[in-house]
Amino acid sequence: MIATYVRRITISSSRKTIRHRFPASACGNSYKQQRYFSSPNNDDEIVEPTINTQEMQSTIINQAPEIVTSLTNNGYYTTTNFLPPSMISTIRAQAISLRNKGRYEQSWSEKIVNGKAQRFDKKGVFACEPDGQDYYTAPDLITYMSVLLQTLPSAINECDTSTSNIELSNTSFNAKLAVTLPGGHKYPLHIDNPQGVSVGDIRKLTCILYLNPNYNIGKDGGELRLFLPSKEEDKKKELEVVDITPEGGRLILFWSGKSAA
């Protein structure tokens, strides 16, 4: 299996706020606003991302109706037509640069044991939580995060005509860059938000963008397996299993508190 790089963002409900690990203001609230950064070498130096922010924003808005329909009916949404291959390669290269600078740490998660959260390390998985200070190393990656976080929640909210009241926030979120090493390492089965608002965790929607180049289906492995609530109400089957290949450029969204992965 190739080393799997993913960009994972969890968006929260708009009803209350939690800590901001990645403040959007650190990298610009949208492409229309001026960005302010401090250069480590030259205060006058400006690093411009190559990502087409207007095109990305239009893509999000245009795909929003399909995203809402798929999330509502199927519990997840996925596409491989979100960013062009050249931009995926650029973001991946910048993710690797962050790793070379030592920005990745051992990834860990929590599981519920006897009603209490218990931390455990994910063997062979390392993660980084990028912020505005990483802009000069990863300008396109940071800009991608900013545009996505400032556009996707509002676009989904505006297209939501269901009675579920999605109500996503564009000011409360968590962002993570992760790499899974080859050799059989993997994410253990888990739910991103197992306890929900009962413990003050309002994470609602998980978004993953895979950065794997030249992915070979059937050879490289690393598929994402989703366990979704079954739609077959007349049967005893409780979960639907969906396997999704982590090919470069794939975007996938699913509910943080309802889908096991």
234-251 burial code (b ≥16 CB/10 A, e <16)? eeeeeeeebebbbbbbbb
Q: Which residues pair with 243 in a beta bridge?
A: 225
| DSSP character string of 210-247 | E--TT--TTTS---EEEEEE-S-TTSS--EEEEEE---
pLDDT tens digits, residue range 188-225? 666 665 666 666 666 788 899 999 988 888 888 888 88
Distances (CA, A) of 100 to 93, 105, 110, 221: 10, 12, 27, 24
pLDDT tens digits, residue range 17-47? 333 333 333 333 333 333 444 445 555 466 7
Sole residue written with tokens 């949404």: 77
Nearest-5° angle of CA 153, CA 155, CA 159? 115
pLDDT tens digits, residue range 111-169? 677 877 778 888 888 999 998 889 999 999 999 999 999 999 999 989 877 656 678 87
